[in-house]
Amino acid sequence: MPRPFHPQRILVISLAGIGDTLQATPVLHELRLQFPSARIDVAVLWPGSAQLLEGNPRINTVHQFNLIQGPRHRSLAFLLRLRAQRYDLSLTLHPQGRREYRIVTRIINAQRRLSHQYENQSWFDRWLVTDSIPQDYAVSGAENNLRLLSLLGLQRQLREAQLEVTLSDSERQWASLWEQEHGITGTPWLGVHVGSGGTKNLSLRRWPAHCWIQFCRRFAELHPKVPIVAFGGPGEADVHHQLQSTLPPSTFRVADTPSLRHAAALVARARSFLSVDTAFMHIAAAVRVPHQCVIETPTLNPPVEPLRPDWTRIPNPAVAGRFLDFYRYDGRPIAGSPIELTRIMESVTADSVIQQVARGFAVT
């Protein structure tokens, strides 16, 4: 039985993707219940991660710095500032499988340092962290994170793990006004995200642009009264432009949102949402979109699936559930050449996607 431990200064380290930070929100909630008087801080890599944690009542402070793109001396200064906080406890959350994440944990040097055991585990990792448990590919990232609490001898208080985004009234009002300005208030609409993360070779899990164009054209023909609203940033601008040039304005719109939080508020108003496994997939799950469809990719494994019971997987016949053959949390990219991975994603047909997405709408 783990010895009693009552930390007063806790740091949650979530340096992976924006969606992975959303997967951290259940353990943040649980930590606040377990240690109501503790200071709970979070360290994140991406500005979007920090945005989605704004207003979260479980957190005291969010520390954000891009350790990948920032100069080394500034990265070290950032980590040393965290080290100076003298945290009693740190949790390096799933799926931070690269050893560099655990080196970051060691530099910050909390008294107790919790992490997971990955395929690249060695004796060196046992020096970097003080406590660890094996990761489990069969459960969600949120569940992997919550299991770290067993290292502290804690019994969970939450009945159910849910992703949390605390949106403000002004952000929700902005989303309502956006619908009014674009003439779709009261109209069931489909939200889509055509992109994905861009680190390593993760952009190759995107459904190719010509597939999105074929889908949107065909869906607009079959369901002309259902507007399509596209979300994303500069990385999706080219595909958005192609779609705008081939679809009428009454059918297709780009969500020009001022921040990721405003985008989340607008996603919450969609009837259905379609994507591959991206941060927007997790946002759609967090804001409880009524109907959510996800195109299967080589990286869509249980740890990154939407944290909700009622989502629809659109099968990829070239993947067929063999996600561990393509991708593991060991720091390596998706297995396969760009040509091979593109063909894998092309194996999902527009008709198969339309069939599943149409179930979210009463219109025909």
Average pLDDT estimate for 174-197: 95
**Residue range 41-79, pLDDT digits in tens:** 999 999 999 999 999 999 999 999 999 888 999 999 999
For residue 312, the cross-strand partners are 293
Which token pair is 159? 């009945």
**Residue range 235-263, pLDDT digits in tens:** 999 999 999 999 998 899 999 999 999 99
Q: Is the pLDDT of residue 2 over 60?
A: no
| CA–CA dist 73, 77 (Å, integer) | 6
| CA–CA dist 123, 34 (Å, integer) | 31
How far CA 256 is from CA of 4, 185, 225, 245, 271, in Å, comes to 50, 17, 21, 17, 19
Helices (H), 208-289: 209-222, 237-246, 260-267, 279-286
Strands (E), 55-213: 61-64, 89-92, 112-117, 131-134, 190-193
| CA–CA dist 147, 13 (Å, integer) | 15
Return the pLDDT at 364: 40
The answer to whether 174 touches 262, Cβ cutoff 8 Å, is yes
| CA–CA dist 155, 4 (Å, integer) | 12
The domains located in the chain, with CATH, are 9-152 (3.40.50.2000), 169-360 (3.40.50.2000)
**Residue range 203-239, pLDDT digits in tens:** 999 999 999 999 999 999 999 999 999 999 999 999 9
Q: Please, what is the Cα angle at 167 between 292 and 157, to 5 degrees?
A: 80
| Per-residue confidence band for 362, with pLDDT thresholds at 50, 70 and 90 | low
**Residue range 308-361, pLDDT digits in tens:** 999 999 999 999 989 999 999 988 899 999 999 999 999 999 999 999 999 999
- Look at residues 24, 71, 72 and name the one whose alpha carbon lies nearest to residue 44: 24
Residues in the chain: 364
Q: Which one has a higher pLDDT value, 240 or 5?
A: 240
**Residue range 131-184, pLDDT digits in tens:** 999 999 999 999 999 999 999 999 999 989 999 999 999 999 999 999 999 999
Q: Is the pLDDT of residue 1 over 70?
A: no
Which token pair is 330? 């060991």
Q: Is the pLDDT of residue 125 over 80?
A: yes
**Residue range 292-321, pLDDT digits in tens:** 999 999 999 999 999 999 999 999 999 998
